Amino acid sequence: MIPIQHRDLEKLAQRHWEAIKNYAEKGTKKFDLKYFDDAIKKYFEGITFEQIVLASPSEIDDLVEIWNAHQCKDKEDFQGFLTYYGYLTNGFVRKKENDEETKYSSKDIVESLNISVCPYCNRNYIKLVETERKVKEEIEVTKEEKVKIRIDELDHFYPKKKYPFLAVSFYNLIPSCKTCNQTFKGTKLVSVNPYSKIEEFSFGLKIENSKFYYDKDGFCIDYERAREVLKENYKVFHIKELYDQHKDQVLELIQKQITYPDSYIDELFKKYEGTFFRNKEDVIRHLSNGIMEEENFHLRPLSKLTHDIAQELGLLD
């Protein structure tokens, strides 16, 4: 689990809202802005649709409490929210003044956040791919045609089935891998939203016996702190079971720590400072197949695990 960090997160949320608003404002539609504001008013006093779309992770938690407290929920009132999420998947089309069409879709969210690896598991890539497949246009039509589809995923932190009013809320849409979104999470609730500030935690190392530097059974990964901080996320996303399958990478780090003395790292750094390496961490990354700095955890699988272990081993300052 790693946080989603972006310098312009608020701007991206604002752009998201503008696209939805622009589409809803065009009028003559069943689901216009008035529809959304009216639906919200029934459950949330003094709150607008705009506030729902832009609600921060903690504000979303508060809204969910209000929603849960309602005795009779008529989910039919919120069909428009789910319909708009469908539009978001395919893209809201808007015409500019010169009649040129622009599109805003879930693809824009994933791309502009510049996330390569799933924030829930920090293990699987979520790169966007456009591909072609044969689909039936309609049930009665047997003709098949090729269309472009994308394989990016947006998880609803609060599932849209139970909480339809959050179906298009920016901070409820988490770019994630298919395994985390569909296989593990589904409609389950987890505790930590990757857009929120996550309490600090590290993965650690427990040496079991003297074989630890050549045998994976000689050590364990210490998950104690991760389990405390991540709570449901830790269980639902099977962090221990999955990460234990990557002990070979931890073993490599242990071996690098033993076989690359500080003097060798210093020597490489001095020789290539300013050309290949900006700092000692760059040297370590070069020697250990890609340890990332904290701000770049979202770019490479298992970056937090390898970083934390390398730090414990004294490979990083």
**136 φ, ψ (degrees, to nearest 5):** -85, 130
CA angle at 112 for the pair 33 and 96, rounded to the nearest 5° = 50
Stretch that binds Zn ion, among 42-50, 177-185, 216-224, 245-253 (CB under 5 A): 177-185
Write down the least CB distance from residue 172 to Zn ion, Å: 17
Here the tokens at position 243 are: 């990460």
Backbone region of residue 302 per phi and psi (left: phi > 0; alpha: psi in -120 to 50; beta: other values): left
Among the listed ranges 122-130, 133-141, 238-246, 272-280, the one in contact with Zn ion (CB under 5 A) is 122-130
Asked if 175 and 113 count as a contact pair (C-beta separation under 8 A), the reply is yes
Nearer to Zn ion, 180 or 236 (CB): 180
Please give the distance of CA 42 from its chain centroid, rounded to a whole number.
31
Distance in angstroms (rounded) separating the CA atoms of residues 95 and 100 = 6
Does 236 participate in binding Zn ion (rule CB under 5 A)? Answer: no
Q: Which of 177, 239, 292, 302 binds Zn ion (CB under 5 A)?
A: 177
Using CB under 5 A as the binding rule, whether residue 118 contacts Zn ion is answered as yes
117 forms part of the interface with Zn ion (CB under 5 A): no
Minimum distance, C-beta of residue 268 to Zn ion, in the bound complex (Å)? 34
- Asked whether the beta carbons of 290 and 182 are under 8 A apart, the reply is no
The answer to whether residues 105 and 89 touch, using CB atoms and an 8 Å cutoff, is yes
Distance CA 317, CA 314 (A): 7
Q: Does residue 121 belong to the site contacting Zn ion (CB under 5 A)?
A: yes
- Establish if 180 lies at the interface with Zn ion (CB under 5 A): yes
Measured from the CB atom, is 223 or 277 closer to Zn ion?
Answer: 223
Please, which residues have CB within 8 angstroms of residue 72's CB and are 6 or more apart in sequence?
Answer: none
Please identify, using beta-carbon distances, which residue of 81 and 120 lies nearer to Zn ion: 120
Of 94 and 178, the one with the shorter C-beta distance to Zn ion is: 178
Query: Site size for Zn ion, by CB under 5 A?
Result: 6
CB of 154 to Zn ion, least distance (A): 13
Contacting residues toward Zn ion, per CB under 5 A: 118, 120-121, 124, 177, 180
